[in-house]
Structure 1
Amino acid sequence: MPLAVYILGLSVFALGTSEFMLSGLLQPIADDMNVSIPRAGLLISAFAIGMVVGAPLLAGATLRLPRKTTLIALISVFGLGQVAGALAPNYAVLFASRVVSALACAGFWAVGAAVAIAMVPVGARAKAMAVMIGGLSIANVLGVPAGAFLGEHLGWRSAFWAVALASAIALVGVITRIPHIPLPETKPVLRRELVIYRDRQVLLSILVTALAAGGVFCAFSYLAPLLTDVSGLDAGWVSGVLALFGVGALVGTYIGGRVADAHLFGVLLSGITASTVFLAGLALLASSPVATITLTFLLGVSCFYTAPALNARMFNVAGAAPTLAGATTTAAFNLGNTGGPWLGGTVIDADLGFAATAWAGAAMTVAALGTAVVALRLHRRTSTSHIVAASASRPEDRTPSASASR
C-alpha cells in the first residue's frame, strides 16, 4: 500500500473527529447556545448536509484541477472552518461554520478516495478504502473521546481548536507526502461521468449506503444523553464509551477491509444484519449500563466492518467515473448521517425517549438489508446474462443449425 494512502488516512482523522465529535458535545453546546438538545443535534445534520451537497459539487468543479493542489486547498478551508466554529458567537454562526467545514471535508473525501483508488490495483480497492476509513476509526477511538473530554473540562470550543491544530498537521502531510497525480490524457467531461446515475446498481448502492449509515447514526448521535439519562451513567463515562465505539470501528474496518475484496456481498449482508440486531438490543436493554456499553462496541464493529464493502461496491459499479464514484459514496454516507440524526431528533421530540432512537435506526437498517438483497439479485442476473452472451458469441458454441440459419 503506497505511503500516500496512509497520509490520506491520517488526514481523514482530522475530518472524522470534527464530523463525529459533536455526539459528545451536544449538552454543553445546547447549554451555551441556549438551544434544545435536538436542535443542537441539527449541527450534526448540518455537517452531513454539507457533505451531501459538497461531495458531487466539488468533485465536478475540481474534475480538471491538479489532485494535490485540490487536496491542499480543501484541507486549508476545513481548518479555517474549525477556527470559525471555535469563535462562533451564536448558534447561527456555528451552524454556518459546520456547513462550510463539511463542504471542504466532502471535497477532500471525494478527491482523496479517487487518488487512493488510482494508486492501487483493482483487487486492493477495499483495502485502500479501509486505510482511509481507518482514519475515521482512529477519530472515533481518540479524536471523539478527546473532544468530549476537552468539552467537559475546557469547554466545547477547545475541541474545535484541537481539530484546527490537527488539520494544520494534516496539511503539512499532504504538502510533503502526497505525490503529483497526473490528470488523464483525455480530459474528463462531467457530462459523460454523470451517465453513471442512470445505472440501477449505482442508485441501489447509494440507497444501501445511506440507510445502513443512517440507521447506526440515528442512535449514535444521541448516545451521550442515552448513557446519562437512560443507562444512568455519570457524564464522565461518555468519552470512554465513545472511545469504545471507536475501538469497535477500528476492529470492524480491519476485518472488513481484509474480507470485502473477496466476499463483497457477504460482508454487506452480514454487517447490516449485525447492525440491525445490535440496534434492537440497544433499544431493549438501554437501561442496563453493561449491555449499553457492550452494544456500543459491537455497533462500532458492525458499522465499520461494512464500510469498506460499501465504498468498494460503488467504485465497482461506477468505475467509468472514479471521481464522481468517490463523491457519490461520500454523499450517500452523509445522506444517512443527515437522515439518521433528524429521525432520532424527531423521535425524541415526540417524547418516545432516547432509547427509541435505536428502534428507529433498526428500521433503517432493515430497509438497507432489503435493498442490498435486491442489488445482489440484480448483480447475479446481470452476471448470468453476460456469461450467456459471451458463450453465444463464440463460434464453437453454436450448433450447426444455428450457424446455418445465419
Structure 2
Amino acid sequence: MPFALLLLGLAVFAQGTSEFMLSGLVPDIARDLEVSVPAAGALTSAFAVGMVVGAPLVAGLARRWPRRGALLAFLVVFLAVHVVGALTDSFEVLLATRVVGAFANAGFLAVALVTAVGMVPADAKGRATSMLLGGVTLACVAGVPAGAVLGGLWGWRAAFWAVALVSLPALVAVARSVPGGAAAEGAPPALRRELRSLRSPRLVVTLLLGALVNGATFCTFTYLAPLVTEETGLGSGWVPGVLALFGAGSFVGVSVAGRFADRRPAAVLAGGGVAACSGWCLLALGAGHPVLALGLVFVQGALSFGVGSTLISQALYAAPGAPTLAGGFATAALNVGAALGPWAGGAAIGAGFGYRSPVWVSAGLVALAFVAAVAVWGRRARLVGEGVTP
C-alpha cells in the first residue's frame, strides 16, 4: 500500500476526532458560552447534518478539481474553522464553524476515497478503503479520549487547538506526498454519466445497508457510557477505557476486513452481519456481566467497522463510472446512520426501556439490513434465472 495512504489516514484521524470529541465537551461549552446543554448538543447535530448534506454536494462541486488541490483546500478550511472555533466567544459563530467544518470534512473524505482507490490496483479497493478508515477508528481509540483529557485540563478550546495542530502536519504531508496533475488522475467522467451510475440498484442497496449498519454502530456507541455505569456496574472512570476498547476493536475490524473485502466481500458481509446481530443481542442480555460486556464491546467494534468499511468499498465497486460522487454518497449514507442511530437509541431510552434498549435497537437495525440484503439478492437471483437483467 502506498505511503501516501497513511498520510491521508492522518488527516482522517484529525477529522474523526473533531466529529466525535464534542461528546465529552458539551457541558463545558454550554457553561462557557452561556447556553443550555441541549443547545450546545446541537453542535454535534450540526456537524452530522453538514456531513450528510455536504458529502454529495461538495463532491459534485469538486469532481473536476485536481485531487491534491481539492484535498489541500478542504484541509485548509477545516484547520481554519477550528482556529476560529477555539478563539470565538459566540455560540452562533461556533455553530457556523461546525457546519463549515463538516462540509470540508465531507468533501475531503469523498475525494480521499477516490484518491486512495486510484493509488492501488483495481481489485484492491477494499484494502485501500480500510487503511483510510483506520484514521476514524484511531480517532475513537486515541483522539476522542485525548480530547476529553485536554478539555478537562485546559478547557474545551484546547481540544479545538489540538485538532488544528494535528491537521497542520497532515496538510504538509498531503502537499508533498499525494500525486497530482492530470497525468496522475485522468479526466473525470462526464457529470451525466456519473449521475446515471448512481442509479445502479446495487449501489442504492449498498448505501441503504451502510446507513443501517452504521446506525446500529452509533446507536450503541453513543450510549456506551450509561450502559457500562448503570447496567454493567463499572465506575465512571472506566468510561474512557471502554470507549477506547471499542475503538481498538474498530481498528482491528477494518484492518482484518480489508484483507478479505476485495476477494470475498459476500462472505465478509454475510458472516459479519450475522455475527454483529448476534453480538448485539448477547451484549443486551449480558450487559450485567463486566467481563462478558467488555469483551463484546471490543468484538462489536471490530464487526461493526469491518462490515461498514466493506460496504464503503462495495459502493465504490458498484459505481465505477461515478468515483467521486459514489464516495460522496457513501459518506452521506454513513452519516445518515450516525445521526439516526443515536436518535433511535435515545427514543428507546426516553420511552422507559432502559439503557440496554439501544443495544436491542442496534440488533434490530442489523437484522433489518440483513433481511433487506437477502430479499434484494434473492430477487436478483430469480431475475437472472429467468433471463431478465436486474
TM-score (normalised: structure 1): 0.87
- The residue type paired with residue 172 of structure 1 is V
Aligned to 1:394: none
2:121 corresponds in structure 1 to 121
Which amino acid letter does the alignment assign opposite residue 180 of structure 1?
A: G
Matched residues in 1 for 2:43 and 2:290: separation? 27
Alignment match, 2:308: 307
CA contact (8 A) 1:115 1:181 kept: no
1:348 matches 2:349: yes
- Contact between 1:45 and 1:337, CA under 8 Å: does it hold in 2? no
Q: What is the rounded CA distance, in whole Å, between the counterparts of 1:309 and 1:20 in structure 2? A: 22
Shift of 1:220: 0.6
For the residue of structure 2 that corresponds to 1:268, the secondary structure is helix
Supply the RMSD in Å over aligned alpha carbons: 2.5
Alpha-carbon contact 2:207-2:329 (below 8 Å) kept:
yes
2:137 alignment counterpart = 137
Q: Could you say what secondary structure the match of 2:123 adopts?
A: helix
1:34-73 pair list within 5 angstroms = 35-36=36-37, 42-73=42-73
| 231-240 or 64-73, which deviates more | 231-240
What does residue range 207-356 of structure 1 map to in structure 2 within 5 Å?
207-356=208-357
Aligned residue number for residue 157 of structure 1:
157
CA gap 1:35/1:358 in 2 versus in 1, 3 angstroms: farther
Aligned residue in 2 for 1:198: 199
- Cα displacement string for residues 77-117 of structure 1 (whole angstroms, at most 9, x for unaligned residues): 11222233334546544433222211111100000111111
Q: Deviations over 1:158-182 (max 9, x none)?
A: 2222111111121111111112142
* In 2, Cα distance between equivalents of 1:169 and 1:42: 30
Q: Distance in 1 between matches of 2:23 and 2:271?
A: 26
Matches of 1:315 and 1:139, distance apart in 2: 24
User: Closer, same or farther in 2 for the Cα pair 1:20/1:381, shift >3 Å?
Assistant: farther
Q: Post-superposition shift, 1:11?
A: 1.4
CA distance in 2, matches of 1:212, 1:354: 20
Judged with a 3 Å threshold, the aligned counterparts in structure 2 of structure 1 residues 382 and 47 are, in CA distance, closer, same or farther, namely farther
Distance 1:234 1:335, change over 3 A: same
Report which stretch shifted further, 220-229 or 337-346: 220-229
DSSP-derived class of the 1:180 partner: coil
Q: How far did residue 251 of structure 1 move?
A: 0.9
The answer to whether the Cα contact below 8 Å between 1:23 and 1:222 also exists between their aligned partners in 2 is: no
What are structure 2's unaligned runs of at least 5 residues?
A: none
CA contact (8 A) 2:18 2:163 kept: yes
- Helix, strand or coil at the partner of 1:65: coil
How big is the shift at 1:234? 2.9
Q: AA paired with 2:201?
A: R
Cα shift at 1:209:
0.2
Letter in 1 for 2:65: L
| Cα distance in 2 between the residues matched to 1:283 and 1:91 | 38
Which secondary structure state, in structure 2, belongs to the residue aligned with residue 236 of structure 1? helix
Percent identity, please. 46
**Segment of structure 1 superposing worse, 304-313 or 352-361:** 352-361
Give the letter aligned to residue 10 of structure 1.
L
Instruction: Determine if contact 2:106/2:328 at 8 Å carries over to the other structure.
Output: yes
Distance 1:14 1:225, change over 3 A: same
Q: CA deviation at 1:36?
A: 4.5
User: Secondary structure of the residue that 2:182 maps to in structure 1?
Assistant: coil
Over residues 23-44 of structure 1, what are the superposed CA-to-partner deviations in whole Å (9 max), with x where a residue is unaligned?
A: 444555566565356x655543
Give the superposition deviation at 1:313. 0.9
Structure 2 residue aligned with 1:84 = 84
349-358 or 11-20, larger mean C-alpha shift: 349-358
Query: Structure 2: which amino acid aligns with 1:154?
Result: W
Distance 1:87 1:186, change over 3 A: closer
C-alpha separation between the residues in 2 aligned to 1:187 and 1:302? 34
CA distance change for structure 1 residues 113 and 200 in 2, over 3 Å: closer, same or farther? same
1-side partners of 2:321 and 2:233: how far apart? 51
Unaligned runs of 5+ in 1: 390-406
SS in structure 2 of the partner of residue 249 of structure 1:
helix
Question: 2: CA distance between counterparts of 1:289 and 1:359?
Answer: 18
TM-score (norm 2): 0.90
CA–CA distance in 1 between the matches of 2:12 and 2:44?
Answer: 17
1:173-209 deviation line (CA, Å, top 9, x unaligned): 1111112142766553322211123221111111000
Question: Matches of 1:379 and 1:119 in 2, distance apart?
Answer: 32
After TM superposition, give the deviation of residue 315 of structure 1 in Å. 1.2
Superposed displacement of residue 328, structure 1: 1.3
Instruction: Pick closer, same or farther for the CA change 1:320–1:203 going to 2, 3 Å.
Output: same
Q: Which moved more, 1:295-304 or 1:231-240?
A: 231-240
Contact 2:198–2:322 (Cα < 8 Å) also in 1: no
Residues 203 and 315 in structure 2, CA contact (< 8 A), matched pair in contact too:
yes
Greater mean alpha carbon deviation, residues 291-300 or residues 230-239: 230-239
Q: What is the alpha-carbon distance in structure 1 between the residues aligned to residue 257 and residue 384 of structure 2? A: 24
> Does structure 2 conserve the Cα–Cα contact (< 8 Å) formed by 1:125 and 1:261?
yes
Deviation per CA, 1:102-141, whole angstroms, max 9, x where unpaired? 1111100000111111121121110111110111122222
Between the aligned partners of 2:287 and 2:93, the Cα distance in structure 1 is 35
**Alpha carbons 1:113, 1:326 under 8 Å: kept:** yes
Cα–Cα, structure 1 residues 348 and 90, in superposed 2: closer, same or farther, change >3 Å?
farther
